[in-house]
Every structure is written in C-alpha cells, then in structure tokens.
Amino acid sequence: MKKLLASYGRDDEFRAVAELIIDEEEKKNNRVLARSLRKTLEAGPSRPPRPKALAPLIPFPEAAGDFIELVEPTHNKQDIVLSAENVRVLLGLMKEFRRADEVRRRGLSVRSKLLFCGPPGCGKTLCAEIFAAELGLPLYIVKLDRLISSYLGETAANVRKIFEFARKQPCVLFFDEFDALARARDDGGEHNELRRVVNSLLIFIDRITPKGFLIAATNLDKALDTAVWRRFDEVIWFDRPDRRMIERFLRMKFKNVAIAVDPTSHVAELDGYSYAEIDRVSVQAIKAAVINKRKEVRESDLREAIADERRRKHGSARLTQPT
C-alpha cells in the first residue's frame, strides 16, 4: 500500500482516493496505519506546478472596476486542507467542466453555480482562488455590497455588463460576502427599492449560464432563504477543522520549519479555532524564532502564540457581546 501511494501520488484522483482510504482507516481507529499512510503520501514526489493553459481574456467592462477585481492566484492546492468529501466534490466539478462540451451535446446541463458556506476563516475564498487556478481560469471577485449600492445608484447597465461578460469570458466569477444580498433582501420592506434591486440580481444569477463558474460565498447557512439556495447547482460546506484536520493543517504549516517539538501535540488546545486563527498561531510561533535569531521554533513559542490567539479571541468575543 505504501509503495502504491508513493509511486502514484502524482495523480489528483489517485490522491483523493488515497485520502479517502486514510480517512476510513482513521474512522476505524487505525490511527497508526493512517498516520503512516499519510506520511508516505505527503512525502511522495512533490509536483512542480504545472503551467496552466490560461483562458484568453476578453476586455473587461471598465465601469465595473469599482466592484469587481481580477485576482492573481498566489496559492496552489498544496496550501489548502480540505475534507476528503470536499476534494471529491471539487474534483468531480473540475472533471465535469473539462468535459462540458460532451455533456451539453447530450442535452445535459453542466454544474456551474456553486455556493460555498461556512464560518469565517475556513477556506471559502482560498478554495475559490485555488479552484480557478487549477482550472486555468481567471478569478474575478465581485464585492456584492458595492455592486448593490452602485445598482441603487442607477447603474443597472453596469451590472448587466458584468453578467454579459461572465457569459462570454471563461472565468470564475466569485461573489464574496453573498450574505449582503440575503441581508438586503431581509432589510428591504415589501415595496422597497433595495428589495427590487436584490430580486433582479437574483434573477440575473438565475438566468446566467457562465462560461466558467459562478461561486458565491457566505457565512450564513440556514439563514439564506430557499429562494437563494435553489439557484445553486452545488453547495459546499467549509467547516471549522476537527482535531484530525487541525493535525493535518499543523503538519502542513510546519512541514519545512525546524521545530523542537511536535506541533500536533497542541491539537486539543486549538479545537474550535478556524484555519485562519491556527494559521496566525503558526506564523506567530515561527516569527518568534526568527526575531530571537533562533534556528528552531520552541515549545514556548507555540505556547505563547496560542495564548495570544486565545486572548485575542476572547477579547473579540467580549467586544461583540451586546451591551
């Protein structure tokens, strides 16, 4: 099994299956085997990033510059920790996209509108970036609150241009903070102008068949009404990491770092934290070693970084409490 993993570790789908096997073993409580398999898989040949065939860019509607931004990818799939389930779904979507013509020829529709749900700092934006990069598609991030206000300012034509653009340009059109839309829908009274704008945005989203993907991200889950839900072909959940995922994340973060202790011995203390928070802890610990001109990260660096994060988290919890 180990040989198999090491020699075939290059292939995406193989990797996904391997992750599944490892997860299964972990669930069966075969932790030693699972850990050893994962180590082998991660030590496999590291792939030089493949040059992606980038989609040609068509001119971007100038007036949209205020609320839409072309983002250059700075991460790749080695930088993200995803559940085996999400890896499977995302790979399935990529495969479907690559065979889109064939699928359409048979009169079937291609899944292209995705909703990413989950608490802050758990990888929605990061995943959209890596997903686009993997497919060689440019990523355009739409700031929805700005879009709505510009729409209110009677620039409906701009909005139409964006959707026109996404119909022609193979890209990932990413609606960050999609909650703004749901919120505006709630805030607006029955005959409110805002409500009219939001509804027409929803209709746009409904009608569009993107040349690539339309991805919306939200922190809300059940609070999004069904009218919004049913417009998406796929919903993907980005949860806070459980202990197993925290362990994987820490391994990834400290992979190329000299450290005197096993960072995964702190998994229990980080339970309940988001990836972004654990990321901050890792960076702080590594930085402490650099600042103090030490070659290794020490136990105390980690402990202090965790204490700082805890203080910060509790402080911010206090701030958000109603007075």
Q: Given the rule CB under 6 A, which residues bind ligand ATP?
A: 80-81, 118, 120-126, 217, 219, 238, 275-276, 279
Query: To the nearest whole angstrom, how small is the minimum distance from the Cβ of residue 140 to ligand ATP?
Result: 16
Contact 126, 80 (CB under 8 A): yes
Pairing of the two strands 68-71 and 139-143:
antiparallel
Query: To the nearest whole angstrom, how small is the minimum distance from the Cβ of residue 124 to Mg ion?
Result: 5
Nearest CB to ligand ATP, comparing residues 124 and 266: 124
Out of Mg ion, ligand ATP, none, what residue 80 binds, judged by CB under 5 to 8 A for its kind, is: ligand ATP
Q: Which two tokens stand for residue 248?
A: 């994987």
Contact 273, 256 (CB under 8 A): no
Nearest CB to Mg ion, comparing residues 34 and 126: 126
Does residue number 218 form part of the binding site for Mg ion (CB under 5 A)? no
Contact 220, 182 (CB under 8 A): yes
Query: To the nearest whole angstrom, how small is the minimum distance from the Cβ of residue 163 to ligand ATP?
Result: 23
Give the closest residue to 195 by CA, choosing from 185, 203, 206.
185
Q: What SS3 class is residue 117?
A: strand
Dihedral sign computed on CA atoms, order 22, 24, 26, 30: negative
Does residue number 125 form part of the binding site for Mg ion (CB under 5 A)? yes
Residue type (1 letter), 68: I
Does residue number 274 form part of the binding site for Mg ion (CB under 5 A)? no
Shortest Cβ contact with ligand ATP: which residue? 123
Out of ligand ATP, Mg ion, none, what residue 219 binds, judged by CB under 5 to 8 A for its kind, is: ligand ATP
Rounded-to-integer distance, Cα 194 and Cα 183, Å: 10
Nearest CB to Mg ion, comparing residues 40 and 125: 125
Query: To the nearest whole angstrom, how small is the minimum distance from the Cβ of residue 87 to ligand ATP?
Result: 11
